[in-house]
Amino acid sequence: MNQDADQLREAFVAHEYLAPDAADVIAVVHEKARRYRRRRRAAQSAGGAVLGAGLVAGTVAAPGWLNATSTRHSGSTLSLAAPAPQPIPTPLASASPLASPATVASPSPLTSAQQDQAISAYFAAGYNYNDALALATLWHMSGDPSTIKAEAGRRLLAGQTLPFRPSAAGVATAAEGADLNAFFSAGYTYDDAVGLAQLWRISDPYQAKIDAGQKLLDGVALPIAPSSQPTASTVVTSSSDAASTADLNAYFAAGYTYEDALGLAQLWKISDPYQAKIDAGQKLIAGQTLPFAAGSQPTPAAEISANAAASATDAAVNKFFAAGYTYNDAVTLGSLWKIADTYQVKIDAGQKLLAGQTLPIKP
């Protein structure tokens, strides 16, 4: 042994009393653990909002408390004083009512039909996918966003209000969805929308569906029955348009169609096919003949019309997929809009996107 080793050994012996007794330390740790378990059960019964805070506070306080015990040693006797009791926070008194999970009771499981009804109510109120994410944060809910939508819809059906209102755009989209559902639920089709757009002088068949749905929801009958095309007897105009009505009746009575009007508009350099029908009707009433027989428009006009329609359709479908939507999304939209033809759903959805509108579901 050398002198340095002897000095170290003497120093360790002289300060040996500073180490706390192991049995006392273990006893105090067990007591702290017991209090934590009791605190955990109390916090869980109140909603569990402050459990983590209590445990973190206890953990942070523990090192300081153990250090403090070393300053209370007297000679070789260890005196451990129990720490002051920590107050247990009350979740409902300190947390925001919207953010506290204690305000969100676990909902009873919904049947598949009830969940569909609740989600429909959610979208019908104008809420969207992003709103579901915000509600999940407020309610401290996790998992499938459909669960949050169903819970929000269940509350709406029960007459409750949600923590925030839907956006104006969401409400407008929901209103359009209701109009479309009314239109297709009544048995009308895309071809019927084309016919109604022709009667109402609307260039966009999609807008014709919206207007028709609004009328149906208001209890107003449409001028054509489902799956029928307008004829001379179904052209409805005001009394001030009696002359135009006669021209249109003469046009349709001669067997001419909307496609023929496109060809005539091209030949006559008229941008509005509706005006081409009126001008054609006037000529027919005056005993004149039109440039081509009904149903036999010039080939170039037919090709241009078909190409234009195909181009518009392709643009809409391309927009649908470019926005990140898939075939399964088209199926879901078809269910919402009551459209059996998935391809037509893609076209309608793409047209809405091209017009700057939003769809009721995210990609």
| Range scoring the smallest mean pLDDT among 190-204, 220-234, 315-329, 346-360 | 220-234
Q: Where are the domains of the chain?
A: 3-78+85-94, 104-166, 302-354
Is the pLDDT confidence value at 82 over 50?
Answer: no
Compute the distance between CA of residue 52 and CA of residue 96 in angstroms, rounded to an integer. 17
Q: Is-above-0.85 flag for pTM?
A: no
Contact (CB, 8 A) for 164 and 191:
no
Is the pLDDT confidence value at 110 over 70?
Answer: yes
**Which element (helix H / strand E) includes 103?**
none
pLDDT for 349 = 92
Q: How confident is the model at residue 122 (pLDDT cuts 50, 70, 90)?
A: confident
Contacts of 329 (CB under 8 A, 6+ apart): 361, 363
Question: What separation in angstroms does the CA of 74 have from each of 22, 23, 32, 66, 198?
Answer: 17, 17, 24, 16, 101
Beta partners for residue 77, in sequence order:
74
pLDDT for 39 = 57
pLDDT for 40 = 55
Q: How confident is the model at residue 247 (pLDDT cuts 50, 70, 90)?
A: confident
Contact (CB, 8 A) for 187 and 226:
yes
Closest CA to 48 of 91, 103, 98: 91
Q: How confident is the model at residue 157 (pLDDT cuts 50, 70, 90)?
A: very high
Question: What separation in angstroms does the CA of 9 have from each of 5, 13, 85, 350?
Answer: 6, 6, 40, 85
| Range scoring the smallest mean pLDDT among 97-111, 133-147, 156-170, 178-192 | 97-111
pLDDT for 245 = 75
What mean pLDDT comes out for the span 34-47?
Answer: 53
pLDDT for 359 = 92
Enter the tokens of residue 316: 């809409």
Closest CA to 152 of 205, 107, 94: 107
Compute the distance between CA of residue 173 and CA of residue 232 in angstroms, rounded to an integer. 35
Q: How large a percentage of the chain has pLDDT more than 70?
A: 63
Q: Which residue has the higher pLDDT, 301 or 337?
A: 337
